[in-house]
Chain A
Amino acid sequence: MAVTLEWVKLPEGVRFRTVCRNGVPWFEPTGFLTQYGHIGLGSSRTVDTYAERLLPFCQWVSRE
């Protein structure tokens, strides 16, 4: 299962980067990133950094 970072667009039109499985946003990490990164308040670059930091853990979980 390929776990990667992809750009996605929220219904409000905000673009941010999140963890995806086979190109589909992974529900839990996306929920975490939208809340933790304060989508709409913080910069998209900040959320991008958070997603990059979270990616190895998600890859590791899907690998186990």
Chain B
Amino acid sequence: MSFAEIHPGVLRRFRRDLVVYDASQPPLLKKGADSSDRTIRDTVAMALRFMAWYGEQYQTDSAPGMTSKIRSSSGLRFAEWNSWNEGRPRVKRKLPKTLTSAQLDVCRKWIMAAYTFDPVLQIRNRAIFELLLGGALRLGALLGLKTKNIFGQIDEC
């Protein structure tokens, strides 16, 4: 079997084989079926980490959502998964790129210029832009926004 053929169901079998003693083959863990829960959990967690890494590296079918799928199928609780990760050295992440104020002005101008045919659309799209920018809203929050959610005086049209 190659790593590319491994899916959550196969990993479940790996977890079972760690504790089930097969006399015909040497045990996977040094102490075989007598291994502690912690050892078994760490071994499965490392296999999961490796498969998640493998999925990202080689863009296999299992890459999108592999981490959450295999974690849920492994029987590891979320806290266990996280606690196992605590000792790992962290790589400093770079901050995402942001638009400058000049670029934002270009966006504003573009919105106003593109919707000159309809002043209502012009105002609506400008308002959407300012809301997303100023309120750091996500798309779902924006779509679910009601006038009652906005504090302050609103002139009804």
Contacts and interface: CB of A to CB of B under 8 A. Distances in A.
Interface of A: 28-29, 31-32, 35-36, 38, 41-42, 46, 50, 53-54, 56-57, 59-64
Given A31-B57, A50-B46, 6 more contacts: A29-B50, A32-B50, A56-B43, A57-B47, A61-B1, A61-B6
13 contacts: A28-B54, A38-B91, A41-B89, A46-B89, A53-B42, A53-B46, A54-B50, A56-B18, A57-B50, A60-B14, A61-B1, A63-B25, A64-B1
Q: Which 3 A-B pairs have the closest CB atoms?
A: A53-B46, A57-B47, A56-B28
A60 B18 CA distance: 9
A32 B54 contact: yes
A50 B47 CA distance: 10
Interface string B23-50: 0010011000000000000110111011
Nearest to A41: B89
Interface residues of B, number: 24
Interface SS majority for chain B: helix
Interface in B106-143: none
A31 B3 CA distance: 13
Interface in B75-91: 87-89, 91
Contacts of B50: 29, 32, 54, 57
A57 B43 contact: yes
Nearest to B2: A61
A57 B14 contact: yes
Given A31-B57, A41-B89, A60 B46 contact: no
Contacts of A28: 3, 54
Given A31-B57, A53-B42, A60 B28 contact: yes
A56 B29 contact: yes
Interface string B90-109: 01000000000000000000
Question: Residue among B25, B50, B89, B91 with the most chain A CB within 10 A?
Answer: B50
Contacts of A64: 1
